[in-house]
């Protein structure tokens, strides 16, 4: 784990966090700058910079713990009406802490938070098929599975 990484410090217990769930490979804690009440971050305990760097066991552990957190939120928050899962990977995607983390944030009608984006343009079927062909032809084998 990285000495400079704040999430590594949390995962190692060197930095306090409001932990709400844990399994052997992942940790869930309340976000200190929440979008909504109950906004939780789920991290792998072992350092990885982003989703593409995570070993399969950590991907599974993070997903399982995020499911447990969402289930718990849905049964404990009085105004819970839904939730979003969000993971930003890379600076261009808005990642600011370079330790893989998944946001689980509860939603309520009228909470003022919007994820909807309108496309700049709608691609043609031909353009979509060309992208599909590129993706199918260029899929490398994963090294950890």
Residue 59 sits at φ, ψ, to 5 deg, of: -60, -45
Q: Report the alpha-carbon distance of residue 59 to residue 64 in Å, rounded.
A: 9
Q: Within a 10 A sphere around the Cβ of 9, how many other Cβ atoms?
A: 17
| Contact present, 49 and 100 (Cβ < 8 Å) | yes
- Which residues 6+ apart lie within 8 Å of 37 measured at CB? 77, 79, 106
Strand partners, 40: 30, 104
**Residues with active-site annotation:** 101
Strand partners, 27: 22, 43
In angstroms, the first-to-last Cα distance of the chain is: 22
């Amino acid at each position: 784990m990285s000495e400079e990484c704040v999430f590594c410090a949390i995962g190692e217990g060197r930095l306090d966090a409001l932990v709400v769930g844990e399994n052997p490979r992942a940790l869930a804690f309340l976000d200190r700058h929440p979008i909504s009440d109950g906004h939780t971050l789920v991290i792998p305990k072992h350092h990885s910079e982003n989703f593409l760097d995570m070993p399969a066991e950590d991907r599974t552990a993070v997903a399982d713990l995020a499911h447990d957190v969402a289930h718990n939120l849905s049964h404990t928050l009085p105004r819970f009406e839904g939730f979003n899962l969000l993971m930003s990977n890379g600076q261009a995607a808005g990642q600011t802490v370079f330790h893989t983390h998944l946001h689980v944030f509860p939603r309520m009608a009228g909470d003022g938070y919007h994820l909807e984006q309108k496309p700049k343009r709608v691609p043609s079927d031909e353009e979509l098929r060309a992208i599909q062909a590129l993706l199918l032809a260029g899929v490398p084998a994963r090294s950890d599975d």
